[in-house]
Amino acid sequence: MKRCERCHVLVSGNPRSCPLCQGDLIGDGEPGRESFPPLAAKPHPQKGLLQLIGLVTAAAAAVCIAVNLSLPDGGWWSIFVVAGILSFWLTFWAVVKKRGNIPKAILWQVALISALALVWNWWTAGRLNWSVDFVIPLLLIGAMIAMAVIAKCMRLRIQDYILYLLLDALFGLIPLILLLCDCLRIVYPSAACVAVSIISLAALCLYEGQALKNEILRRLHL
C-alpha cells in the first residue's frame, strides 16, 4: 500500500496522489486494484442550453463580421463585437470552472474582469482612465462585500472563505499605490476601496486572527 507522509494514512490501490491533501505518495501500489469504483459520467443538465448560447454567439459574431466586410466604411467595429463575445465566454468559463467554490470564483472574476477592463481601456482609449478610476476599485469593493454576505447567508465555514477574503482585501490596497503615485483622475472610488480593505483586514485580524493563521499554515503545509 502507498503512504502519505503528510497525512500519515495508508492508501490502497495505485493512486498518484493522496485523496486528502493531494500530495505525493510513497511506497508500492497495488496494480489492478482501484480504491474507488469508476463512475459513469452524467450528462450536464444545462449542456443543451450552453450549446445553444454558443451557437447564437458564434452566429452573431459571423453576421457582424460579414456585415462589416460588406460595409467597411464605418471602421472595423466587428473586432470589438468578437472581443466582447470572447470576454463574455472567458468570464463565464471562470464561473463554471470554480462553481464548487464560490469565494474562489469571486476572486477569479475580480482578476479576469480587472484584466479585461485594463485591456479594453487601453485598446479603445490608448491610456488607462476609467478602468483604474472606477472599474477596478468598485469591483474590489463589491467582491469583499459579496464574499462577506454570501458566507453569512450560506453559513460557510470560516476556513472555506477566509483566505480568499484576505487576498481580495490585500488586492484592495493596490489603488493606494496609484493614489500615492498620482495616477488617478478620480480618487473617490479608490479611496473608498482602500478604506474598505483596511476595515476588512482589521476585522479579519481582530475577530478571526487565529483561524486565519491556522488556514495559512495549513495551506503552506507547516
Domain boundaries, the chain: 1-36, 47-97, 101-222
- Over the stretch 83-99, which tens digit does the pLDDT of each residue have? 888 888 888 887 777 77
Residue 10 is inside which H or E element, if any?
strand 9-11
**Rounded Cα distance, 62 and 65, in Å:** 5
**Residue-level pLDDT at 83:** 87
- Judged against a pLDDT cut of 80, whether residue 171 lies above it is answered with yes
pLDDT at position 199 over 90: yes
The larger pLDDT score, comparing residue 142 to residue 31, is at 142
Mean pLDDT of 125-146: 90
Supply the pLDDT for residue 192: 93
Residue 198 has pLDDT above 90, yes or no: yes
Q: Report the pLDDT value the prediction gives residue 71, as an integer from 0 to 100.
A: 85
Is residue 127 classed as helix, strand or coil in its secondary structure?
coil
pLDDT of residue 193: 93
Q: pLDDT at position 98, please?
A: 74
Tens digits of residue pLDDT in 154-166: 888 888 888 888 8
- pLDDT of the residue at 212: 83
Q: Distances in Å between the alpha carbon of 123 and those of 77, 108, 109, 117?
A: 13, 22, 21, 10
Give, in degrees to the nearest 5, the angle at Cα 166 between 162 and 170.
170
* Residue 38 reports pLDDT greater than 70: no
Rounded average pLDDT over 44-54: 76
Q: pTM of the predicted model, to two decimals?
A: 0.68
CA distances from 39 to 16, 22, 35, 36, 43 (A): 18, 20, 12, 9, 12
Winning range, highest mean pLDDT, from 1-15, 17-31, 149-163: 149-163
- Residue-level pLDDT at 46: 66
Percent of the chain with pLDDT over 90: 21
Q: Position of cell 472574476?
A: 109
Other CB atoms within 10 A of residue 146 CB: 16
Of the ranges 154-163, 189-198, 202-211, the best mean pLDDT one: 189-198
User: Does residue 43 register a pLDDT over 60?
Assistant: yes
Mean pLDDT is lowest, of 124-133, 144-153, 154-163, 195-204, for 154-163
Output the pLDDT for position 149: 86
